[in-house]
Structure 1
């Protein structure tokens, strides 16, 4: 006589399958896919929208608010929507914008300070008389969307995918910063010199480390988005263009200090990376698990 199965025997756990399961297992190469696809969409959107945006754009991008919107703001606004839809499809919106799973340390406060110094120098050193009020406002709006989208990609999605794969936090920080830097390597396609692109890669890698640490020490991705969102527009207005350097530095003592402040930022980013330790419990480990009904018993 064989034993009958118990009525209350536990049901074997079934593995999550499908779209969410693929991304919930994480991995650096999946993070790279996200970055490459986003970069492709971001580069393609201006070409697709060109028939609509060409009448609005001036030779000097910062000549009118409409030109800033068409040439700078619109692509990142649409890119942000694409990223939000992707995160929503995975059920990651709440954990992405929620509390960080790894506690920050006191020394990590150096990161937002290093980023704030050049922001403040440009904020108070820029000659705003060269722009209309509408251009200034639209530039800051565009900058906030740049900070939102680029941080959502790198410190949001990339960090999440790295943590889900079980990587140590130093690797999470380094890979997210590396992918952020690689996103800016496409500047060479716009005619920038090799030396300028090389410096940009160093800067963006260090900046990415500081953004990771800002996220850690504040406990939220939002503060990294805010600091990033202030960095770009203050740089655009101080230099008079996108991906330009110098500008009115010779006419403003404050802007003249942004060069040394930027070098300090780069050195600080590389040094602080050395001290990153720890390993996170995977964020939003599996939304399906969290939403599954409690086991019977």
Structure 2
């Protein structure tokens, strides 16, 4: 009996989200954040994490503070994509390509990644901590890109928005996710700078997805950004220079502000629109290779 009653409820939920749009996206993001934050709180409570312990001190501190909640988030998003039947749309070829200028986005992100891979003093951390940090970073890339460049972009396109609006709003949603850092006690100014950076970074990831016609490169670039920021600064979502810096890390840090400015400028040059058929399928990518 429960199976029979569950089917109409799932069908109604799919019908609701299939229509897309910003206001259908908002509750989805809020529910995801609630689950993610709840998982983090559960982990720190169950494992009695000591708040004064540095994040990269032990494997346990990394897992409890960051990894566990990301695993829960990845499972939740995976189940949602499966239930909605969106897995192929999110991970398959993008319905619209990009212009050559869009390579600016992934290039601006790749340079600081390389500098931060070379720059940190890895001797400060155990091998196990370094490996788990990198794996955790890849999880960050997977979860955040699936939510904001996968689900959010799809829902905005389904509502018929232009690609400029899609890029702008999905990047704003990505930036807004990082406002929860206020709950961890970060200063308002620090969170504000982080949100500005994540907006610019979000635009770069959108451009990466457009120009490569796949979400996978965006996931990889995002997944390589976070762990090496963490290993070079010792903190999550640290944008400026923090702690002991060498020349390579100083240059890498300057790219944060370049990405902010570039993102604010490049988003206005995005063009195109993904046309939807009456059955909801893509049938004519308008401006498929235009900016």
Query: TM-score, normalised to structure 2's length?
Result: 0.88
SS at match of 1:167: coil
CA shift, 1:259, in A, is 2.7
CA shift, 1:166, in A, is 0.3
Residue in structure 2 matching 1:185, options 179, 182, 203: 179
Consecutive unaligned residues in structure 2, runs of 5 or more:
1-10, 282-291
Distance 1:285 1:114, change over 3 A: farther
Residue in structure 2 matching 1:63, options 29, 32, 57: 57
Q: Which moved more, 1:189-198 or 1:141-150?
A: 189-198
Instruction: Work out whether residues 93 and 213 of structure 2, in 8 Å CA contact, stay in contact via their aligned partners in 1.
Output: yes
Q: Distance in 2 between matches of 1:190 and 1:283?
A: 45
CA shift, 1:278, in A, is 0.5
SS at match of 1:226: helix
Residue in structure 1 matching 2:89, options 92, 95, 102: 95
| Pairwise CA RMSD | 2.0
SS at match of 1:18: helix
Equivalent residues, number: 270
CA shift, 1:147, in A, is 0.7
Moved over 6 A (4+): none
Q: Which moved more, 1:141-150 or 1:254-263?
A: 254-263
Q: Does 1:107 align with 2:101?
A: yes
Q: Does 1:198 align with 2:156?
A: no
Query: Deviations 1:222-270 (Å, cap 9, x if unpaired)?
Result: 11111111111000000012234423454x1101112322111111111
| 1:210-289 superposed matches below 5 A | 210-244=204-238, 245-250=240-245, 252-282=246-276, 286=280
Distance 1:143 1:285, change over 3 A: farther
| 1:101-180 superposed matches below 5 A | 101-180=95-174
Q: Distance in 2 between matches of 1:284 and 1:210?
A: 31
Q: Distance in 2 between matches of 1:99 and 1:56?
A: 44
Query: TM-score, normalised to structure 1's length?
Result: 0.86
Q: Which has the higher contact order (CA 8 A, sep 6+)?
A: 1
Q: Distance in 1 between matches of 2:247 and 2:117?
A: 13
Instruction: Work out whether residues 249 and 255 of structure 1, in 8 Å CA contact, stay in contact via their aligned partners in 2.
Output: no
CA shift, 1:129, in A, is 0.5
**Structure 2 match to 1:80:** 74
Query: Deviations 1:162-215 (Å, cap 9, x if unpaired)?
Result: 000000000001110001111001112222222111111110111111110101
Q: Distance in 2 between matches of 1:283 and 1:59?
A: 54
**Structure 2 match to 1:3:** none
Distance 1:103 1:68, change over 3 A: same
SS at match of 2:48: helix
Instruction: Work out whether residues 160 and 282 of structure 1, in 8 Å CA contact, stay in contact via their aligned partners in 2.
Output: no
